[in-house]
């Protein structure tokens, strides 16, 4: 006789000892997180929060200019409610600006107020205020040309609201525009350069560019600072600052003189007049060294007795003289544009000498001397540029659009070698400037130098310029994912890899074709990406709809981590691992961020609050989505968590059962040694674990023990 056999219970365990970062897809793997805040890959494979950020510079409060507006007051009153409308007159503006609206309401009559912002006649922003002292700061869009604001006041009781007394319900109304923000930053020579309004600060040096900005400069729009040898260049304004000797100025230069008496003389490069014989035929019986200006073939010749012949002079010059005009804004080698009666010298003549009241340029005229009275203009031009970069000792740029109402251009430019001031020098030598017209339509979306070559992007095209001098330059065109419009600041070179934001995803470029690195970000659409790199990490601040996201990609580990909603408008970094980002009047430090920039008011975050939510898994049982059925007859009976929570830090563990709200199961406060604790899940179909913490912490392991019973 045999007794019935009973199977021995077999307990199983599942472990998570590698935490793999953010994954926004519907199905994710063990160790990945569906949501997080302020985590990092620094201590991979452990789960840990990012280190504290440094506030490298805080300029202080913004400066604001008051805007003059008139207010129209209307009321809508009935037995059920009373509403007052206070709408400002429209302001004509030009694009992106930051405004501040202040007002107070009488809380004896008004329950709450709402602000509507009208841009180009359409409500684009709104905010509700529940306390009587109100301040609303907002930024207009780039395309905004008309702005007005409306305050909507809601009465507590309709019978207490008197339309004739509306002025007393909403008081102290002011609308101001911000006139000082950090407009651009650059790390150079272990110092931080930044533009504040129309001034540059570099270490302890203040550079006042006010006289070089156009009259319509808004003092807040972004500027791009680039390093070029000893210089810091500022675009699109076209400014330069020499970090070695402290000199500064404008890349472009212009001399204007109304009703000027101008004299032109044909001369040699030193300015000595030739005094040639001007005729259609050669002079008879010339002497050695005589000059002849041939009006038939338009050439200048010299007679040599030794050769008994007229020899052409390869290059002729014209001396321009205007009494009292200072030409010292120009230098030898500049290409200048003028409006003289001599057509040959008006478009890109090369300056060979500058003197008091004189300018000598290459050119030819059909008279020995000439003169005129004219509103004289002489200019060293800088092309209009959308984006710029530096490669092979040249500044490169691109532009697509109309210039002064002309036909649309679509061009790539390069400055003269070693000279960012000259973009139209065509001497036929290797140091010449360079320009290339493209046949492809569409706006440029970014520019960068990668592997020594300048690259220019549109949303679906990439251009690369090969070669070392203008005659050898070749254009390579790649029909592939380019840079998303508005995400030009996402272009970064990290080690030997180029990373950027395309329309759909983030791409890495190895020199041939782009590859996707953002699979774990799912199908989410991000826009306006601004990025920086340091220590094998790609930091990016961007929009997801109306939300601001700050993510970090570890290129070595292939992991994404979400930090918070910090909005960074521009990054700069150096090769030692320091990374800085600007936001308004603040500059934050990331990476090592340990340079001494001789700046005051440096500070560090007091605390870092972080969280990590493990997601559901439907495909198989895992520690993230625990599913068990009567067929397998299993259930988790213990979850063990091992963590190191230092003194003054804190870790909280939450569990949600069957998609119900999270409930706290344990709080661990800092001790001097690693800790372990466990909990037993209640009976459910699935559960989800969430960590929340303050300051430094390391989670080593999540161990789940499953109990399997005998067969039924």
- pLDDT, position 253: 95
Return the structure tokens found at 324.
């009292």
Mean of pLDDT values over 516-538: 95
**415: Cβ contacts below 8 Å, ≥ 6 apart:** 394, 395, 396, 421, 422, 423, 433
Q: Name the helix (H) or strand (E) containing 537.
A: strand 537-544
What does residue 686 show for φ and ψ, rounded to 5 degrees?
A: -160, 160
**For position 185, what pLDDT does the model report?**
95
What is the pLDDT confidence band of residue 54, given thresholds at 50, 70 and 90?
A: confident
Look at residue 604 in the predicted model and tell me its pLDDT: 73
Give the tens place of pLDDT for each residue, 336-348: 999 999 998 999 9
Structure tokens at 673: 């040694």
- Taking residues 74-92, report their average pLDDT: 94
pLDDT at site 670: 81
Number of DSSP helices (H) and strands (E) in the chain, helices first: 0, 60
Query: Which of 28-32, 471-475, 607-611 shows the lowest per-residue confidence on average (mean pLDDT)?
Result: 28-32
Rounded CA-CA distance 292/311 in Å is 10
pLDDT in tens, 219-262: 888 999 999 999 999 999 999 999 999 999 999 999 999 999 99
pLDDT mean over 116-133: 95
For residue 342 the two structure tokens come to 């001599």
Give the pLDDT of residue 709.
52
Using CB atoms within 10 A of its CB, is residue 328 exposed (0-12), middle (13-18) or buried (19+)? exposed
SS (H, E, C) 431-474: CCCEEEECCCCCCCCEEEEECCEEEEECCCCEEEEECCCHHHCE
* pLDDT value for 628: 43
**Mean predicted confidence (pLDDT) in 72-97:** 91
What's the pTM value of the predicted model, to 2 decimals?
0.81
With residue 591 as reference, give the H or E element that holds it: strand 586-591
Instruction: Enter the tokens of residue 227.
Output: 């390093």
* Domains located in the chain, CATH noted: 12-50+609-708 (2.60.120.430), 53-62+182-251+585-604 (no CATH), 64-178 (2.60.120), 254-376 (no CATH)
**Residue 343 dihedral angles phi and psi, to the nearest 5°:** -60, -30
CA dihedral 434, 439, 443, 444 (to 10 degrees): -40
What phi and psi, each to the nearest 5 degrees, are found at residue 168? -85, -10
CA distance 604 to 71: 44
């Amino acid at each position: 006789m045999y007794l019935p056999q009973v199977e021995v219970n077999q307990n199983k365990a599942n472990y998570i000892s590698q935490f793999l970062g953010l994954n926004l897809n519907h199905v994710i793997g063990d160790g990945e997180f569906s949501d997080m805040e302020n985590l990092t890959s620094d201590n991979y494979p452990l789960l840990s929060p990012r280190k504290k950020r440094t506030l490298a510079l805080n300029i202080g409060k913004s400066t604001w200019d008051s805007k003059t507006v008139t207010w129209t007051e209307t009321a809508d009153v009935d037995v059920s409610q009373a509403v007052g409308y206070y709408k400002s007159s429209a302001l004509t503006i030009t694009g992106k600006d930051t405004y501040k609206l202040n007002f107070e309401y009488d809380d004896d009559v008004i329950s709450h107020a709402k602000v509507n912002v009208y841009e180009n006649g359409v409500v684009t922003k709104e905010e509700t205020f529940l306390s009587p002292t109100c301040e609303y700061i907002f930024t207009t869009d780039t395309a905004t040309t008309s702005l007005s604001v409306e305050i909507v006041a809601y009465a507590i009781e309709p019978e207490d609201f008197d339309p004739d007394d509306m002025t007393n319900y909403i008081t102290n109304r002011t609308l101001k525009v911000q006139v000082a923000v950090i407009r651009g930053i650059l790390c150079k020579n272990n110092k931080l350069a930044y533009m504040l309004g129309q001034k540059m600060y570099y270490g302890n040096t203040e550079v006042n560019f006010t006289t070089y900005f156009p009259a319509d400069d808004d003092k807040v729009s972004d500027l791009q600072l680039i390093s070029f040898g000893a210089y810091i260049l500022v675009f699109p304004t076209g400014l330069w600052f020499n970090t070695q000797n402290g000199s500064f100025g404008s890349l472009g230069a212009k001399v204007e003189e109304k009703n000027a008496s101008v004299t032109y003389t044909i001369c040699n490069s030193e300015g000595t007049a030739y005094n040639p014989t001007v005729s259609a035929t050669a002079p008879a019986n010339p002497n050695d060294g005589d000059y002849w200006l041939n009006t038939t073939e338009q050439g200048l010749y010299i007679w040599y007795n030794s050769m008994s012949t007229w020899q052409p002079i390869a290059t002729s010059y014209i001396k321009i003289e205007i009494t009292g005009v200072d030409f010292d804004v120009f230098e030898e080698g500049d290409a200048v544009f003028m409006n003289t009666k001599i057509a040959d010298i008006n478009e890109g003549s090369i300056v060979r000498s500058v003197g008091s009241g004189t300018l000598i340029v290459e050119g030819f005229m059909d008279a020995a001397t000439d003169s005129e009275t004219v509103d004289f203009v002489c200019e060293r031009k800088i092309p209009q540029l959308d984006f710029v970069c530096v490669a092979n000792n040249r500044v490169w740029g691109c532009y697509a659009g109309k210039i002064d109402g002309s036909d649309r251009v679509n061009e790539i430019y390069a400055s003269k070698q070693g000279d960012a001031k000259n973009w139209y020098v065509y001497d036929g030598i290797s140091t010449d400037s360079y320009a290339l017209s493209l046949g492809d339509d569409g706006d440029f979306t970014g520019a960068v130098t990668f592997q020594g070559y300048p690259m220019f992007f549109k949303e679906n095209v990439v251009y690369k310029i090969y070669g070392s001098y203008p005659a050898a330059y070749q254009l390579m065109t790649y029909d592939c994912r380019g840079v998303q419009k508005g995400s030009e600041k996402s272009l970064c070179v990290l080690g030997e890899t180029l990373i950027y934001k395309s329309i759909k995803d983030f791409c890495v470029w190895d020199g041939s074709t782009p590859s996707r690195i953002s699979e774990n970000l799912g199908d989410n659409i991000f826009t306006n990406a601004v990025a920086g790199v340091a220590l094998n990490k790609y930091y990016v601040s961007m929009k997801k709809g109306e939300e601001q996201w700050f993510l970090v990609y570890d290129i070595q580990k292939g992991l994404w981590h979400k930090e918070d909603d910090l909005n960074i408008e521009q990054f700069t970094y150096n090769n030692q691992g320091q990374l800085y980002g600007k936001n308004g009047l603040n500059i934050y430090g990331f990476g090592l961020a340990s340079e001494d920039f001789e700046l005051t008011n440096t500070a560090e975050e007091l605390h870092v609050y972080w969280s990590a939510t493990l997601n559901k898994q439907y495909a198989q049982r895992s520690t993230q989505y625990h599913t068990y059925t009567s067929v397998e007859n299993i259930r988790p009976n213990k979850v063990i968590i091992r963590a190191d929570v230092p003194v003054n830090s804190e870790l909280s563990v939450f569990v949600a059962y069957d998609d119900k709200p999270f409930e706290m199961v344990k709080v661990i406060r800092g001790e001097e040694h690693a800790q372990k604790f466990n909990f037993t899940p209640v009976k459910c179909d699935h559960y989800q674990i969430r960590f929340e913490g303050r300051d430094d912490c390391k989670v080593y392991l999540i161990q789940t023990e499953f109990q399997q019973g005998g067969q039924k």
